Amino acid sequence: MLNSWKYFAATMAGAHKVTLHTQHGTQILQADASAIGRFVFDGPEQSFLGDWHIELSKDSPDAANLQEAASRLRDTDIPVAFPTETVYGLGADATRSAAVRGIYSAKGRPSDNPLIIHISSLSNLRRLLAPKTPSVSGLETPPDPVPPIYYPLISRFWPGPLTILLPLPTPSPLAAEVTASLPTVAVRMPSSTLALALIHLANVPIAAPSANASSKPSPTTAAHVLHDLSGRIDLILDGGPCGVGVESTVVDGLVNPPVILRPGGVSIDMLRSCPGWENVQVEYKDGAETRTPRAPGMKYKHYSPNARVLLFRGQMDAECAKRYLGKGTRIGVLTTKTWQKEPLQSVSRIPGEPSTSTVNSHVINGYRRAHEARECRGSEPAIAEIMPSLMPVPIPSAQYSRIELSDQDIYEVWTVGLGQSTAGIARGLFSALRELDQKGVDIIFVEGIDDNEGHAAAAIMNRLRKAAEAEIVL
């Protein structure tokens, strides 16, 4: 089991070795999850839901880097960026106000937007939620502070991309800034073994939104974090590219019927297959909301590149595109299920020299080595049940062309094709938006998908609608 976990960790981390470097005071430390040590499960569960510990490898630079990141989380008020299976998070000790305020400051995040707490075991969660009352001899064991409605989800989706809303204990050990004055707290257990090890070594609950500048596309590589937060934070723990690509699903089981507050890696159909969740309802809007948010991601515009984003439902062509273009506009195109690789192919093309891709070589190396690790590890049912669809795949880079839509109107076009797999679209979405921004495009035409096409489809469309200036149905 431990050897299998080692290979799983390598796959999820995108095992790679890159020279440590510093930019504008922000240090990047590499951490290959397969090289940090081994996980030892202390109880009969033999899973991260039970008690466990990690035996760190001696003389391992990866283990040393992991310990350094954990000590920064534990002992300083400057947040640390680290990878999860969904996106990179910006973490701080959730029990200290100064540390949590550091997250809001680094991101430029509004203070009324609550944060998610990340834990590494159910024991951690119970200690966090249990009210601190004097011990009295002869009393029965205190009741479980985790409501029973959540256990069908926990047993199936944890560790993984699911966040649950829980009652905030009184008194609360959490900093007030975490919950933005709400009576509840959002909690999840990530499936990234590197993230779990980091939280375990820090020995504190970690508040962690996505590690991007507020309102920008979420980061799925360390390079994305550095682009947004260079000079604002001291340390990025680089574990390679993330496997899911969109944030976790957020649910509230404290109401009847239970509701989804944010779509993510766990779909409504997956939730409805669990006892007690057969009638779960959707309670989120894809546009920004003005009322007090009950969970992260329910308020404010999110995931927006610098360029204008137009979301299309239907087949775009040159005549349609011309309605939204000014003279000399640089165009970005993001294709998914049905658009051709070059949806403006019916117009005249002009020879031109393509620019080089902005995809980092260490990201591609991480994907390649992750694939090699997957081939080596063999099949392991326990691992496959945890997160069967999160194995990283290369993200396509932007392809260059020049087109003439009418006399004298010549446009540069950068196109990213994310393919037809919903999981692949989710993994590549934020990277593609960021790459098109780096190409300096003025407008991005995005092909939308059906909200019901695959387990992450609703999450993809939610993020695109929050990023887009308009949704156009053709």
Q: What is the CATH number of domain 308-359+395-473?
A: 3.40.50.11030
pLDDT computed for residue 133 by the predictor: 56
* Residue 341 or residue 102, greater confidence: 102
**pLDDT exceeds cutoff 90 at 131:** no
Q: What percent of the chain has pLDDT over 70?
A: 77
User: In Å, what is the CA distance from 134 to each residue of 142, 170, 174, 339, 368?
Assistant: 12, 14, 19, 64, 54
233-248: burial string, b at 16+ Cβ within 10 Å, e else: bbbbbbbbbbbbbbbb
- Where does the pLDDT of residue 198 fall: very low under 50, low under 70, confident under 90, or very high at 90 and above? very high
Residue, of 134 and 55, whose pLDDT is higher: 55
By residue count, the chain amounts to: 474
More reliable by pLDDT, 123 or 7: 123
Average pLDDT, the chain: 83
Least reliable range by pLDDT among 36-45, 253-262, 269-278, 457-466: 36-45
pLDDT value of position 159: 97
The residue-averaged pLDDT of 14-31 equals: 66
Residue 171, pLDDT above cutoff 60:
yes
Kindly indicate the confidence band of residue 249, based on its pLDDT and cuts at 50, 70 and 90.
very high
Q: Determine the average pLDDT of the residues in 458-462.
A: 94
Q: What is the mean pLDDT of residues 298-304?
A: 66
Give residue 192's pLDDT band: very low, low, confident or very high (50, 70, 90): very high
The residues pairing with 402 across neighbouring beta strands, listed in sequence order, are: 350, 412
Higher pLDDT, 9 or 60: 60
**What is the separation of C-alpha 110 from the centre of its chain, rounded to a whole number of angstroms?**
19
Q: What is the mean pLDDT of residues 439-449?
A: 95
What are the beta bridge partners of residue 118? 188, 206
The pLDDT confidence band at residue 349, using thresholds 50, 70 and 90, is: low
If you average pLDDT over each of 244-248, 276-280, 334-338, 414-418, which comes out highest? 276-280
Mean pLDDT value across residues 345-365: 50
**pLDDT for 358:** 42
Task: Give the pTM.
Answer: 0.85
Q: Is the pLDDT of residue 158 over 80?
A: yes
pLDDT the model gives residue 407 = 66
Q: Which range has the worst mean pLDDT, 42-46, 210-214, 286-290, 455-459?
A: 286-290
Question: Amino acid identity of 204?
Answer: V
pLDDT-based confidence at residue 373 (cuts at 50, 70, 90): very low
Question: What is the structure's pLDDT at 141?
Answer: 65
Take residue 67 and report the two structure tokens written for it.
């310990």
Please give the Cα distance from 61 to 63 (Å, whole number): 5
**Residue 107 pLDDT exceeds 50:** yes
Lowest mean pLDDT among 292-296, 320-324, 386-390: 386-390
- For CA atoms 83, 84, 90, 91, give the dihedral sign: negative
Give the integer Cα–Cα distance in Å for 196 and 47.
12
Taking alpha carbons only, the member of 397, 412, 396, 408 closest to residue 351 is: 412
Domain with CATH 3.90.870.10 in the chain: 2-132+142-282
Q: Tally Cβ neighbours within 10 Å of residue 115.
A: 27
* pLDDT higher than 90, residue 66: yes
pLDDT at 337 over 50: yes
pLDDT digits (tens, 9 = 90+) for 73-96: 999 999 999 999 999 999 999 999
**Domain ranges in the chain with CATH number 3.40.50.11030:** 308-359+395-473
Q: Flag whether pLDDT at 385 surpasses 70.
A: no
CATH architecture entry for 2-132+142-282 = Alpha-Beta Complex (3.90)
- Given a cut of 80, whether residue 19 has pLDDT beyond it is no
Q: Which of the residue ranges 123-137, 214-228, 274-288, 370-384 has the most confident prediction, judged by mean pLDDT?
A: 214-228
Query: Do the beta carbons of residue 276 and residue 166 sit within 8 Å?
Result: no
Residue whose structure tokens are 């669990």: 274
Q: What is the pLDDT of residue 336?
A: 93
| H helical segments located in 298-392 | 318-322, 361-377, 381-386
User: Residue 345: is its pLDDT beyond 80?
Assistant: no
The pLDDT score that the predictor gives to residue 296 is: 64
Amino acid 448: pLDDT:
96
